[in-house]
Chains A and B, each alone.
Chain A
């Protein structure tokens, strides 16, 4: 993965070895003197000479740009970041020439063949030098920006009204800041291909494209797929896929995020929703153990898209297509929405949550020690697993989780397709190898030793505990989100919430503990599992005090050694690293 894996903070901060003092350089940005490091990480995280753009950022000045992206190789092609600058004048003795007041004399950059005209340098690729002055707001800089923007707009279709990028478009944004109200362009525009089917998930509008090549660089240098390129020449330059329609690697949708304009759009999202109506919620992808940070875009309880949220300790700014598009199930019509219990006649009947909790508490209280088993899911949050562990300990139950594996890739997709396997391990619901106890549980049921089975978020019929075994049980307490063979056999069914419908934490495959927030409401009677599990634990053990997710997490941190010392608030938006 390209993103440096260095965590920004750790759970138990080890005193870092005294870092060598950072070598700095003094430059001036818009009249303000700043000390900046001589080198900063480049797109691969290797130290590289600090650029004017980075120095300006440190000084709190944002220099507009299209092609530059801190996680992609520098192209320098859009020219939007051109800035006027000056450097200390050197005398023939190679010493700085001073003004009368003793300050160094600055020579402003000018065109070598036209000394009256300022010459800009691209801030994204030009290294700073000692004493350099960057004029990010000067008249000349503004004029350069205006002219670049004018060039970008003359052949642009200006179809913002029907463009999916509207509202999050850098062309619009910079037009507000640097554009002109009317155009002096009186020629015919260049016409290029529209609605090009680049691949299964991507549509390209070449007329909107500003040819910044972010998509090409990402696909070639990050995804490792030389699938995109430019054909034709000059103003007729056109982004194209090597094989039309075959731009199909598992990272193509990142190019839609990277595209600063509306050229690349997602087939899944295009024409679905104006982006300014979307509520943004910080969350995590649950499709594998990497735990990519995401932003959920939802409106009125409906999820419309996932986008990667930058976290250099985990996913950088990227995520895979399969994870990104794995959200539809949250809104499926057949979601479990009712609390159900088997009635005397054997049919499932709706009951209240209170009755269900009472019923579950009764079953677990009456069950003899050793007659209960728990099969939990590594898709459950730490907080839920922590409460389930309390129940399991109280009943002396055998516990396990269900492994879920797939083919890994070289970028983000993990072999472990559960989002919280390490949470399961750290809380002690399963051993390093999941599934070790599943056989024992199956044997226990077959031999009549185990009479009560608690299943959270898994279909145990798929892992060796078939429907015929389930009929041998006295009680089958099941919580899940979608119906399956296990939920069908439940004697008590507790509808749970998808991650997007609740708050909680996961620990990823590298030991990054990360939290996620609630984007939408759970349907019907479905509730976040930690809420009703807390009630059940309270009924069973009398333990209380976890009415909020914050309180529950902080309590868990005092009891689970790996989380020792952590506070919910301290976890932040990008998580902390714990010992795994």
Chain B
């Protein structure tokens, strides 16, 4: 029976565990920092020496740690892209703008174990010669911001932050910056713009890759909260031991935010790839099954922007056989290991590891209406396809939700979404398009049936409503207030 594996979550839900530094240190807190800062230079087989900072960077690479924010990019590789020869300061930013619908993992750390993040950050900053770092925290988390500031104060008082950390001569300052409530601030270059005091318009890449031209046009590392926490455990366990957690190329643990139509929604830490989607939903250690009398309809596996998976789907996955050869193996939806690569091969992504479960009581049309309204609201509006397309998608799905659909709307929605994905400045274009493309593709019958029913009703009583009559956005004007 698969069990949760508590690495990041080890302490934070233990009775009596408090977010203050005393409690954290009683649980072994800041030992990783002390150990890392006392490390000598590492001798390499070829006679060269690695500075302890370089050694930690190598360890993070060797650990196989992949970003826990959404893209799943190798953290060690990301660090290796940093331009260290520009002579400019290097900044590190912790992306604590957790706002992907369905995702509530980072907020657990921020609220209950802020020092774990701070220790991970100090280690990451030290490894990358960063002297100034920021925690960009979602505006909707005022309590966490307060807790973080308190924790930073404590860390400073204890000599873990500020000038001459632990007597090593290393200086580091960390500031908390609160966002003002926009999803796009989670996009790393939008976040940087926002941190610079500007409107969070994501930057064009090229040329503005954060590793070279990031915050204040200096080399910058942007890492997710959970990712930075893992650095502490890589130091404690060593990269080899850490990499034994999870599965090859999908190492370590992840906190899964499980929500929707399950018995026990919540956050569960698992070894990456050692638990399947089916186990996450049905195992008593996790979701505990669907609601009584319900059947599974769909899973949104990695936050609301990931492509939906339909109950009963079977995927062709690459599997390494005993002989080392790659073969294609049929894997059904519920047997999909929850990791980066399997979900990608299933045509979707593990994203921010937010699993949203939909049972047969849910209308896919209504669900998409909800999602597309979110993306229309959160599009920053900088570039044309997303600015115009996201609202267009929302208006069209709302027509379908409000009895003004057309049979042709399935194609219409696909057409609009296809003209957004891959054509925008940032990945928000995909985030807005993918739910639509996957919902319509996999549940086309539902969309067409809704459209056909609306057309039939229209034919019976023509003139009662025109397709143009519904605009959920402009009528309320609610979107214009932000």
Contacts and interface: CB of A to CB of B under 8 A. Distances in A.
B421 A111 contact: yes
Contacts of A185: 392
A150 B380 CA distance: 19
B419 A151 contact: yes
Given A187-B471, A234-B479, A229 B381 contact: no
Interface stretch (A122-130, A384-392, A395-403, A503-511): A122-130
B480 A236 contact: yes
Nearest to A48: B207
B361 to A, nearest CB: 29
Interface stretch (B54-62, B110-118, B152-160, B371-379): B371-379
Given A125-B204, A152-B388, A187-B392, A144 B381 contact: no
Interface stretch (A77-85, A251-259, A371-379, A410-418): A77-85
Interface in A132-186: 144, 147-148, 150-152, 154-155, 184-186
Interface stretch (B11-19, B37-45, B331-339, B422-430): B422-430
B384 A125 contact: no
B384 A78 contact: yes
A277 B396 CA distance: 42
A490 interface: no
Contact of A233 (B380, B389, B415): B380
A211 B381 contact: yes
B376 A235 contact: yes
Interface in A219-233: 229-230, 232-233
B204 A230 contact: no
Contact of B388 (A74, A154, A229): A154
A144 B201 CA distance: 22
Given A152-B384, A229-B199, A187 B396 contact: yes
Given A187-B471, A237-B387, A147 B423 contact: yes
A74 B204 contact: yes
A230 B480 CA distance: 12
Interface string B323-362: 0000000000000000000000000000000000000000
B382 interface: yes
B390 A234 contact: yes
B422 A119 contact: yes
B385 A79 contact: yes
B378 to A, nearest CB: 7
A150 B419 contact: yes
B468 A186 contact: yes
B48 interface: no
A154 B182 CA distance: 25
B467 interface: yes
A208 to B, nearest CB: 14
A148 B384 contact: yes
B395 interface: yes
A69 interface: no
A469 B298 CA distance: 99
Centre residue among A119, A190, A230, A235 by max chain B CB count within 10 A: A235
Centre residue among B468, B480, B482 by max chain A CB count within 10 A: B480
Nearest to A232: B480
A151 B199 contact: no
Given A117-B422, A186-B468, A188-B395, A237 B381 contact: yes
Given A111-B421, A151-B384, A235 B204 contact: no
Interface string A413-434: 0000000000000000000000
Interface string A112-125: 01100101101001
A313 B54 CA distance: 51
Question: By DSSP majority rule, is chain B's interface helix, strand, loop, or mixed?
Answer: helix
A211 B474 contact: no
Contacts of B378: 233-234
B100 to A, nearest CB: 17
B81 interface: no
Nearest to A124: B204
Centre residue among A74, A148, A210, A236 by max chain B CB count within 10 A: A236
A125 B206 contact: yes
A147 B418 CA distance: 9
Contacts of B382: 77, 211
Nearest to A150: B419
A114 B419 CA distance: 14
A273 B390 CA distance: 38
Contacts, number: 124
A191 interface: yes
Question: By DSSP majority rule, is chain A's interface helix, strand, loop, or mixed?
Answer: loop
B399 interface: yes
Contacts of A496: none
Contacts of A187: 392, 395-396, 399, 467-468, 471
A234 B204 contact: no
A457 interface: no
A76 interface: yes
A574 B204 CA distance: 35
A296 B177 CA distance: 52
A234 B391 contact: yes
Given A148-B385, A186-B467, A234-B378, A120 B419 contact: no
Centre residue among B384, B395, B424, B430 by max chain A CB count within 10 A: B384
Given A76-B204, A230-B199, A147 B381 contact: no
Contacts of A79: 383-385, 423-424
A155 B412 CA distance: 17
A232 B206 CA distance: 27
A188 B404 CA distance: 13
Contacts of A155: 388
A469 to B, nearest CB: 62
Contact of B391 (A120, A122, A148, A190): A190
Contact of B380 (A82, A113, A234): A234
Nearest to A191: B474
A341 to B, nearest CB: 67
Interface string A33-70: 00000000000000000000000000000000000000
B276 to A, nearest CB: 23
Contact of A234 (B199, B376, B430, B469): B376
Interface in A518-572: none
Nearest to A125: B204
A212 B35 CA distance: 52
Contacts of A117: 422
Given A229-B199, A234-B378, A234-B380, A82 B468 contact: no
A80 B396 CA distance: 24
A134 to B, nearest CB: 16
A236 B199 contact: no
A235 B387 contact: yes
Contacts of B392: 151, 154, 185, 187, 235
B387 A190 contact: no
Centre residue among A77, A119, A151, A237 by max chain B CB count within 10 A: A151
7 contacts: A79-B383, A79-B384, A144-B423, A151-B389, A186-B399, A235-B388, A237-B387
Given A151-B384, A233-B479, A235-B381, 6 more contacts: A75-B204, A76-B383, A148-B384, A151-B388, A152-B384, A186-B406
Interface of B: 182, 199, 201, 204, 206-207, 376-392, 395-396, 399, 406, 412, 415, 419, 421-425, 430, 467-471, 473-474, 479-480, 482
